[in-house]
Amino acid sequence: MLPGGGRHRIAVSTHEVELLFDGVVDDIVELIDEQLEQMAAADGPPERPERILLVGGFSVSEYLQRRIAWFFGGQVMVTVPPNPAAAVLFGAVRYGCLPGVVTARRARYTYGYETMKSFRAGHDPDFKRIEAPDGDVLCEDRFEPFVQVGETVKADQVVRRETFAFDAQDKAIEVHFYRTLAVEPQYVDEDGCEHIGVLSIDLAAVAHLPLHQRSVLLKFHFGDTDVWVTGTNPHTGEAASTTLLFDETA
């Protein structure tokens, strides 16, 4: 209301409104495209159009729905529930009451840990070359994956790996964990690799054993919304654990 009782209006064209939303809509379309590509890579091309379920308050936007339909054409079928904003809340409540309703998820990242492997001449960079006390030539900073981006992971799935002490003076093994969007990362210091946790396992009780016997059993447990890792000294049964980020954006 203007002084004196007058009124004023701001006229905004359809094109101008679309420009306001394009930044968000473009990101949504790009994310859908990436997820469809990951699904096709893991499971092969679909036999019929993929069904996309839109939830959240923005799902009622006809512009968003049209952009998705236009970009993907006959590749997808877009479905919007009657109350998409409440669908998120109802889903969270249902999941909280019945966690078993979600049996599997697709990993948004490749998860792994830092290790050393045999040096590959002509492939691994020379500055990562290191000679072990037993004479083996190794490559440090190698990325050892335990789940790859796009891989279907069951809620109760456990992945096992074994790692060893490197030096006779080591009284503990410290394992560093990483995640990346790369499908087959080679090194933990590549662009895009993110450090997400560390686990230390005491080896003092087995310091008298040869290096190749000073092992630690790593178990990666995929829970409902997280990944937790247990490192166990198989000789003593002593264990340590830590929780890693699964899907959250750091």
Average predicted confidence (pLDDT) for the chain: 83
Q: Which residues pair with 129 in a beta bridge?
A: 139
H and E: helices and strands count for the chain? 3, 13
- Token pair, residue 222, equals 């995929």
Taking the CA atoms of 70, 71, 73 and 77 in sequence, report the sign of the dihedral they define. Answer: negative
User: What number is the average pLDDT over the span 61-68?
Assistant: 90
Higher-pLDDT residue of 120, 249: 120
pTM of the model: 0.68
How far is CA 163 from each of CA 176, 219, 220, rounded to the nearest angstrom?
A: 12, 11, 13
Q: Are residues 122 and 129 in contact, defined by beta-carbon separation less than 8 angstroms?
A: no
Q: Please give the pLDDT value at position 22.
A: 84
Nearest in space to 155 (alpha carbons), one of 230, 247, 226: 226
pLDDT tens string 172-192: 788 899 999 898 999 999 999
pLDDT of residue 250: 41
Superfamily (CATH H level) for 106-244: Substrate Binding Domain Of DNAk; Chain A, domain 1 (2.60.34.10)
Q: Which residues contact 241 (CB under 8 A, 6 or more apart)?
A: 199, 228, 229, 230, 231
**Contact residues for 229 (Cβ-Cβ < 8 A; gap 6+):** 175, 177, 197, 199, 218, 219, 220, 221, 241, 242, 243, 244
pLDDT at 232 over 70: yes
Mean pLDDT of 149-173: 81
- Among residues 147, 155, 151, 55, the alpha carbon closest in space to that of 101 is found at 155
70: which 2 tokens? Answer: 């236009």
pLDDT of 79-105, one tens digit each? 888 888 888 788 777 777 776 677 777
pLDDT, position 193: 94
Locate the domains of the chain by residue range.
14-101, 106-244
Convert the pLDDT of each residue in 116-151 to its tens digit. Answer: 899 999 999 999 999 887 788 999 999 999 888 888
CB–CB of 84/55 below 8 Å? yes
pLDDT over 70 percentage in the chain: 92
d(CA 111, CA 148): 6
Neighbours of 52 (CB within 10 A): 18
